[in-house]
Structure 1
Amino acid sequence: MMRDQLKELATEQPNKRTEQIDTLPTERILELINEEDQQVAIVVKGCLSAIASAVEMVTAAIAGGGRLIYVGAGSSGRIAQQDALECPPTYGTAPGIVQCILAGGNSINHSPDEKAEDDFAAGAEEISQRKVTAQDVVVGIAASGRTPFVLGAMKQAAALGAKVIGICNNRGTPMAEAADLVIEAVTGPEAIMGSTRMKAGTAQKMILNMLTTATMIRLGKVYKNLMVDLQADNSKLVDRAKRIVEIATNVSVKEVERAYAAAKGDVKTAIVILAAGVDSSEARRKLAEHDGHIRKAMNGGIEVG
């Protein structure tokens, strides 16, 4: 029975530290929530080895022409959707390389359909419609580790040969059986029982930040700690792009402007123009030869510090 299943989950237990929270003044309520939140980073630290393995899987998939596809429901799905949506402007990923499947579709952002997460077959069908192959990595996210829509998607992805990763906030769940790799960030009872948008959701957000950020670093979309593949689509981002070139090369603003114009607004090309002392055509050639990795482009394929 569902009631018995919920009783077993760490995320569904009452939290003794906050059981009088409704009797407290506002600042003490906030202190208790903050105290609970402080545990999340420690829990995620314990998952770093598994997250690193996930990064290697996703990096290999994208480098090989595959995709990263998140699947989630409710809060977990919306957290994953945010991460997917932010990859193109931040790291210049092509549309569809990082995407998200939400139980109930994108309309749930306006009018949530909580029943959609119970549909196992719908999750599987979404994977089939996306034409998932062995080149892809599918990441299921669910605090409980047993959401039917997510499990349906994960199992169908595995059947189609894709690598499958699970992210949950409980141990020994059905998600572990459906995944090649499972990341179990056990954040424990929430400040408000069962409100997994709190600690569980925070852990999921942290893990997804790490997953895509480290993947993009491995793919050469970061130089030093700079976002060199950002899409400068408005005046603020153009200013940021030029500032990145300036910081990366330590040259005058006038030289940055000249290189940025020659590179037609491509940050990587502008950096190589200035750092390697070549023209725009040669800078582009070097970058293409080394899969967009700036350090290799400037050092004949040798990855140096």
Structure 2
Amino acid sequence: MSDALLAAYDAVLFDLDGTVYHGSRVIPGAPEAVRAAREHGTPVRFVTNNASKAPAEVVDHLTGLGLPADAGEVHTSAQAGVQVLKDRLAPGAEVLVVGTESLAAEVREAGLKPVRENAPGVQAVVQGHSPDNTWAALAEACLAIRAGALWVACNVDATLPSERGLLPGNGSMVAALRTATDAVPVVAGKPEPLLFETAARSARAERPLVVGDRLDTDIAGAVAAGIDSLVVLSGVATPKQLIEAAPAERGTYVAEDLTALTCSAEDLKIGPRPGWTVEVRDDVLAVTGDGDDLDLLRALCHTAWETGVTELGDAAKARLGLA
């Protein structure tokens, strides 16, 4: 395992939704991959933008899916959001909570006072995902934000992966408030680097690896934190998105799922790949050769990122199922 991807890093920072599980369904191979990291002696951390559950609840969910963990290994955007509040507000300040009771508990544990209705004493609004968020809750937040309250969004994920498909995420609700207030929130979770930096410090890691399925949060957050990343295609990211990715959203490696952690790091790296030749012809990425489809994707990403050409030729489209 000396050449395995996980052996090249001193911690693995896993995203959850779309990377480890889809709602109540574990992604095949995830328990084995996490177990392999632990057996190798590589610390693992679970870094999630989902602010709806407390770390202990995340641990219960992971354990039920065959991935034993402890609360100290879990880092949530709710924790990051409350840290922003704690850094900016005086102890005891009133914070209007749009989110779950676990988010309100985080606010309370930080020495602040969670409330659910706007009043003259409200100094901040913290907004996190909850399936029970209502128009009435958004209306209270709207009034507070318009009155000048600090607005902290735990994350701005537009969608949330589930076993049924993509559902509205916290970012969709944040977008509604942005429209209603003409204000812009302070974003605490990914793609801001705070969550990954905190997780890496807790593992005493100097060379961590981020593993995630979203380019605009997981991978962008890794880039912002200066951390290498593995993009897995088990959630939101698609081959087309990868090829067209902006510099701030480009991963180091790409694979189908977490089982790649025990594969050779060199085989997973985005770059020229044996068996495939990618050239720019008439502003189109033309491919020749044969081999593994993911190797083709790695080679296409490399050339697209080097040249700025992202239009695929017919052969590449057919091979990647994009025709």
TM-score, normalised with respect to structure 1: 0.29
TM-score, normalised with respect to structure 2: 0.28
More strand by share: 2
More helix by share: 1
